[in-house]
Amino acid sequence: IGELARKLVETKKDQLYSLVYLLVTLELILPVATATVERAFSAMNFVKNRLRNQMRDQWLNDSLCVYIEKDIFCSLDNKVILQRFQHMKPRRGQL
């Protein structure tokens, strides 16, 4: 299927048969998209458990983003994150 998509682009047939090209490209990304969605739902089941069932959408979204991209967040320095939150707006207490 990848070769078909390549040939359609090389021969400029992707413009003539745009729906066929769209179908081929969707078939190519389907396994990746499915795996990503399954990974997100698995993370959601971990993050939103019975104890945190009343979590609102924005907080859930932020928590899922941190959990899914934990490799990136582990590489960040905690001091930089603390300084960022300190400068956002006044808090009740200092972190």
- Confidence category of residue 53, pLDDT binned at 50, 70, 90: low
Mean pLDDT of the chain: 77
Given a cut of 60, whether residue 10 has pLDDT beyond it is yes
Cβ proximity of 70 and 79 under 8 Å: no
Domains of the chain, residue spans? 1-87
pLDDT of residue 50: 58
pLDDT of residue 87: 80
Q: Percent of the chain beyond pLDDT 90?
A: 0
Distance CA 60, CA 50 (A): 13
pLDDT of residue 92: 61
